[in-house]
């Protein structure tokens, strides 16, 4: 049993090649995070009373295996316990000729029961330039079903295909999207809390892709398995860790910044403060999702990955609202942030006509605890 580590381009070949079989096909997957040690998740799988797969670990899947049509009993045993202990999970399934299935183990035996579930993988070919995608919530991170509900969103916070309020063990069914590069995430229903944030992935036309959200956040971290690709690399989800006042070191420099992450949009906004040549305070603004000065355009949705952001730096001629005297905002440079830890960051400021200057900073106050302070 090997864990697939192919590239996304492999999907095209797998999904477009015509079937050369005359049987049912079953992809068997282990998405049940019932132990914190990967080796301890190993199971042996019996089909109709005989061991068919041995040593299958969490996150692994077989790819399609041929089965004769008909009824089957699948039993899952902790590795090495077949014949000496009862199965940990059992399920009965009837397979139909020339139909493809995914049978997967889910649950962690604490917040959600261990069980076997089956999906029919067959779907009509998508329109030219599109692909079929399906989202499956297989992450048992809460005991209360309502507490497991999630939304599927773009990095900029837009809901994908109406997928809000998706509970554990629900699946979206296949739906079509245009081929392209997608930066998606799994978030709370309101989008404020990000749970899983995979790196952008290129999805090719003609593919049939199933996205499984997995893990329980205790035994195994939350993550994404894309079938038939494999595990997707994730980044730390954007949260409010960086929020607060930061002072450039040494503190008596009188320079600093205020960071306000917007997790729902993977966005960073705030203020940079400094003094001009005459010793007057200046307050400059930045927004990782801001276009040209004075516009609401967002050419790069998000712009903040929780650690780094590069954005234009703006100054306005005044603060306040006056219909007869609009605020004039102009770009005066660029600023790049890198959050190194809960209390350490760097900011590289490049003002027009000047060389870049890198500042080190420490966090003075923050309304939200940092990740390692919780």
* pLDDT at position 303: 84
Residue 138 has a pLDDT of 98
Sheet architecture: strand order including 115-120: 61-67, 24-30, 100-106, 115-120
Structure tokens at 70: 């008909």
| Contact present, 344 and 312 (Cβ < 8 Å) | no
- At 9, which helix (H) or strand (E)? helix 9-16
Structure pTM? Answer: 0.83
Query: Within a 10 A sphere around the Cβ of 53, how many other Cβ atoms?
Result: 18
Give every residue of the chain whose pLDDT is below 50, as ranges.
1-21, 293-294, 372-374
Over the stretch 289-338, which tens digit does the pLDDT of each residue have? 765 544 555 655 678 988 999 988 888 765 555 556 566 778 888 999 99
Q: Report the topology of domain 244-373.
A: Lipocalin (2.40.128)
Work out the percent of the chain whose per-residue pLDDT is above 70.
86
Residue 133: partners with Cβ closer than 8 Å, 6 or more residues away: 174, 175, 176, 177, 203, 209, 210, 211
Between CA 277 and CA 293 the distance in angstroms is 24
Residues present in the chain in total: 374
List the domain boundaries for the chain.
Answer: 9-235, 244-373
- Per-residue DSSP letters for 90-148? EEEEEE-TT-EEEEEEE--SSSS--EEEEEE---PPPPTTEEEEEEEE-----SSGGGG
Q: Which two tokens stand for residue 125?
A: 């070919």
Classify residue 165 by burial, with Cβ atoms within 10 Å: 0-12, 13-18, 19+.
exposed
The tokens of 101 are what?
Answer: 């299935």
Assign residue 81 a region (left: φ > 0; alpha: ψ between -120 and 50; beta: otherwise). alpha
How far lies 260's CA from each of 239, 243, 245, 265, 285, in Å? 10, 5, 9, 12, 11
CB 271 within 8 A of CB 282: no
Task: Give the H or E element holding residue 15.
Answer: helix 9-16
Cα distance between residue 179 and residue 128, in whole Å = 9
Quote the pLDDT of residue 223.
97
Considering only CA atoms, give the Rg of the chain: 25
């Amino acid at each position: 049993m090997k864990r697939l580590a192919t590239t996304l381009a492999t999907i095209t070949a797998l999904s477009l090649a015509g079937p050369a079989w005359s049987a049912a096909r079953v992809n068997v997957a282990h998405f049940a995070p019932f132990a914190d040690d990967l080796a301890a998740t190993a199971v042996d799988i019996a089909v109709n009373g005989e061991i068919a797969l041995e040593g299958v670990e969490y996150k692994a899947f077989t790819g399609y295996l041929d089965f004769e049509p008909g009824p089957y009993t699948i039993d899952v045993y902790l590795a090495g316990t077949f014949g000496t202990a009862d199965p940990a999970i059992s399920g009965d399934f009837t397979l139909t000729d020339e139909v493809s299935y995914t049978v997967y183990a889910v649950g962690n035996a604490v917040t959600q029961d261990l069980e076997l579930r089956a999906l029919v993988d067959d779907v009509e070919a998508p329109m030219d330039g599109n692909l079929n995608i399906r989202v499956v919530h297989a992450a048992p991170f809460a005991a209360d079903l309502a507490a497991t509900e999630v939304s599927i969103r773009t990095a900029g916070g837009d809901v994908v295909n109406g997928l809000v309020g998706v509970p554990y063990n629900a699946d979206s069914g296949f739906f079509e999207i245009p081929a392209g590069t997608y930066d998606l995430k799994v978030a709370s229903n309101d989008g404020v809390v990000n749970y899983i944030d995979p790196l952008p992935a290129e999805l090719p036309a003609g593919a049939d892709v199933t996205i499984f959200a997995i893990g329980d956040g205790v035994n195994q971290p939350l993550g994404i398995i894309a079938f038939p690709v494999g595990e997707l690399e994730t980044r730390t989800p954007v949260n409010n860790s960086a929020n607060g006042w930061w002072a450039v070191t040494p503190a008596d420099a009188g320079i600093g910044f205020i960071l306000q992450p917007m997790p729902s949009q993977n966005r960073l906004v705030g203020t940079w403060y400094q003094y001009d040549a005459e010793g007057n305070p200046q307050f400059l603004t930045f927004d990782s999702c801001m276009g040209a000065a004075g516009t609401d355009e967002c050419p790069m949705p998000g712009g903040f990955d929780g650690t780094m952001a590069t954005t234009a730096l703006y100054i306005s001629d005044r603060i306040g609202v006056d219909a007869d005297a609009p605020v004039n905002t102009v770009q005066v440079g660029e600023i790049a942030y890198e959050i190194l830890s809960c209390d350490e960051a760097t900011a590289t400021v490049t003002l027009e006509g000047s060389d870049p200057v890198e500042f080190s900073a420490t966090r003075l106050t923050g309304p939200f605890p940092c990740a390692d302070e919780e």
